[in-house]
Amino acid sequence: MRKYVCDVCGYVYDPVVGDEENGADPGTPFESLPESWVCPVCGASKDSFAPQE
């Protein structure tokens, strides 16, 4: 599972950790996050994320 980086604020979504505060359990791949999910730091939408190099 790849990590994804927010292009706006630099937040890294780590699928191992997930984003429990916003309903993403640990182990949720980025691709499985709902389209309504936004960056927990800056509110950017999913399409502002790119795979971490």
Partner 1 sequence: MMNGFTAVPVAKDVFWVGAIDLNVRNFHGYSTDRGTTYNAYLILAEKPTLIDTVKAPFLREMLNRIASVINPDRIEYVISNHSEMDHSGCLPQVMDLVKPDKVFASVMGRKTLAAHFPFMSSVTAVRDGDRISLGDREVSFMETRMLHWPDSMFSYLPAERILFSHDAFGMHLASMERFADEFDTVVLSYEAKKYFANILLPYSNLVTALLGRVKEAGMEFSIIAPDHGPVWRTESDIRRILGLWETWAHQKPSCKAVVTYDTMWGSTDLMARAVADGLASGGITVEVLPLRAFSRSDVATALLGAGALIVGSPTLNNGIFPTVADVLAYLKGLRPKNFIGAAFGSYGWSGEAVGLIERILGEMDAKPAGDRMRLQYVPDAEGCAKCGEFGEMLAKKISELCGRAPSEGGNE
Binding site for partner 1 (CB under 8 A): 8-9, 41-44
**Cα torsion 8, 11, 16, 21: sign:** negative
User: Which of 18/40 has CB closer to partner 1?
Assistant: 40
User: Which of 1/9 has CB closer to partner 1?
Assistant: 9
Q: Is 46 exposed, middle or buried (0-12, 13-18, 19+ CB in 10 A)?
A: middle
User: Which of 20/31 has CB closer to partner 1?
Assistant: 20
Cβ at position 16, least distance to partner 1 in Å = 22
Q: Which helix (H) or strand (E) holds 15?
A: none
